[in-house]
Amino acid sequence: MMVRIAHAKLLSGLLSVLMVVFSLGQASANDKTPAKQLFGGKRLPAVMPAQAHGFYSKGCLSGGIAIATDGPYWQAMRLSRNRRWGHPALIKTIEKLSNDAALKDGWPGLLVGDLSQPRGGPMLTGHASHQIGLDADIWLTPMPNRRYSADEREATSAISVLKAKSVVVDPNVWTDAHGRLIMRAAGYPEVQRVLVHPGIKKKLCETWKGNRRHLNKVRPYYGHHYHMHIRLRCPKGSRGCKAQNAVPASAGCGKELDWWFNVALKPKKPPKKTTKPTKPKKPKHIMLSDLPTACAVVLNSAGPASEAAVTSRAGGSAQTAYAPVKPVQSPFALPALVPVPKERPFVQ
Ligand SMILES: [Zn+2]
């Protein structure tokens, strides 16, 4: 009997030593591997309470859910990237926007671009932000009145609203509905800013006839003429979420906008040639240790058994305040009985 107990003790001792060695190995691997590789390798979210940790460009996400690939008024694009994850508050806002845009703004539906990775964090390609599940790229191309195939979702390109090689909006592409879509998003209280190209901001400054109170939330930025970028404020309950500065109170149609056209977007003169050889800069990667400490837990915690358990159901649930919608015939439509995550905020 004694021998057997001693044997068991020895075994369990060995096991714990092995576990320590394993976790140390894991820890040192996490110390040396850029965070984008660690987070980019996760296929499913951390099953934890939904929280945004850190800042939009330096953080991670727990309890994320995926927007359904198809809803009545949206289609998620570039499915192979696996970046349709976000804080439930973000998924709720996108679904609400799709509905409002289609039913009130004459915008047939959203083509949804990148949100976040399943656990947020830095990405292997593109995007400095989109790390905490509160950023979404929405294409400025209206949804067609048919469902794209999976291949089309990879290959179809968004259409720029700018005239070719210019910084002004193309009147042949831009419609009033583009303006209504952008201003709809800016009008939501949970949205802190909407990033668009300065040419788009200028167009809105000059032509927007509706309520101009939220024009200050439409922020000019480089790029963003194929898509707009919606950013939510830190949601309630995300105590580790670092808020961004408030947007200025003024509409931003004066001097601030002029600066973009007179300085920022002016073609740059080529740099003077020097004979000095320049040292190639080593790229500085964000490491796990640069992120909030909660992100190590998020990275290493267990995931759900399947994606279906954490995917929003196309069309919302019966309890949503959405107007009744026609069911969508789609090869991507989810079965009627997809389990809905507990954190899903639509019931409130
Ligand atoms: Zn973006």
End-to-end CA distance of the chain: 59
Give the neighbor-by-neighbor strand order of the sheet with 70-71.
70-71, 74-76, 110-112, 135-139, 227-232, 191-196, 218-220
How many A from CA of 37 to the centre of ligand 1? Answer: 20
Of 172-186, 241-255, 264-278, 321-335, the least confident: 321-335
How many A from CA of 55 to the centre of ligand 1? Answer: 14
How many A from CA of 344 to the centre of ligand 1? Answer: 23
* Cβ burial, residue 163 (10 Å; 0-12/13-18/19+): middle
How many A from CA of 22 to the centre of ligand 1? Answer: 37
Residue 309 reports pLDDT greater than 80: yes
Check residue 6 and report its DSSP letter. Answer: H
How many A from CA of 231 to the centre of ligand 1? Answer: 9
How many A from CA of 1 to the centre of ligand 1? Answer: 65
How many A from CA of 136 to the centre of ligand 1? Answer: 6
The DSSP annotation for 66-125 comes to EPPSEETTEEE--GGG---EE-HHHHHHHHHHHHHHHHHSS---EEE---B-TT----SS
How many A from CA of 63 to the centre of ligand 1? Answer: 21
Q: Which fold has domain 54-264?
A: Muramoyl-pentapeptide Carboxypeptidase; domain 2 (3.30.1380)
Can you give the length of the chain in residues?
348
| CA dist., res. 60 & res. 295, Å (int) | 6
Residue 267's pLDDT is what? 83
Q: What is the mean pLDDT of residues 340-345?
A: 38
Residue 229 reports pLDDT greater than 70: yes
Q: Between these two residues, 333 and 119, which has the higher pLDDT value?
A: 119
Q: What is the mean pLDDT of residues 80-102?
A: 96
Residue 9's pLDDT is what? 58
Mean per-residue pLDDT over the chain, rounded:
85
How many A from CA of 345 to the centre of ligand 1? Answer: 23
How many A from CA of 90 to the centre of ligand 1? Answer: 13
How many A from CA of 196 to the centre of ligand 1? Answer: 10
Residue 338's pLDDT is what? 33
| CA dist., res. 181 & res. 136, Å (int) | 14
**Is 0.75 surpassed by the pTM of this model?**
yes
Q: What is the mean pLDDT of residues 272-282?
A: 73
Residue 6 reports pLDDT greater than 70: no
Residue 16's pLDDT is what? 53
How many A from CA of 173 to the centre of ligand 1? Answer: 21
Residue 291 reports pLDDT greater than 60: yes
Q: How confident is the model at residue 20 (pLDDT cuts 50, 70, 90)?
A: very low
Residue 112's pLDDT is what? 98
Spatial CB neighbours of 168, under 8 Å, sequence gap ≥ 6: 162, 199, 202, 203
- Asked if residues 165 and 171 have their Cβ atoms less than 8 Å apart, the reply is no
How many A from CA of 126 to the centre of ligand 1? Answer: 9
Q: How confident is the model at residue 28 (pLDDT cuts 50, 70, 90)?
A: low
How many A from CA of 5 to the centre of ligand 1? Answer: 59
Residue 278's pLDDT is what? 72
Residue 57 reports pLDDT greater than 50: yes
The radius of gyration computed from the CA coordinates of the chain, to the nearest angstrom, equals 23
Going from the C-alpha of 328 to that of each of 66, 153, 200, 210, 314, the distances in angstroms are 19, 17, 32, 32, 9
How many A from CA of 115 to the centre of ligand 1? Answer: 8
Residue 27 reports pLDDT greater than 80: no
Q: Which of 1, 110, 53, 107 is nearest to 241 (CA)?
A: 53
Of 112-116, 124-128, 277-281, the least confident: 277-281
Check residue 309 and report its DSSP letter. Answer: G
Bridge partners (DSSP) listed for residue 162: 169
Residue type present at position 248: P
* Cβ burial, residue 138 (10 Å; 0-12/13-18/19+): buried
Q: What is the mean pLDDT of residues 225-250?
A: 96
How many A from CA of 129 to the centre of ligand 1? Answer: 7
Quote the strand ranges of the chain, DSSP E.
51-55, 58-62, 65-66, 70-71, 74-76, 85-86, 110-112, 135-139, 191-196, 218-220, 227-232
How many A from CA of 346 to the centre of ligand 1? Answer: 24
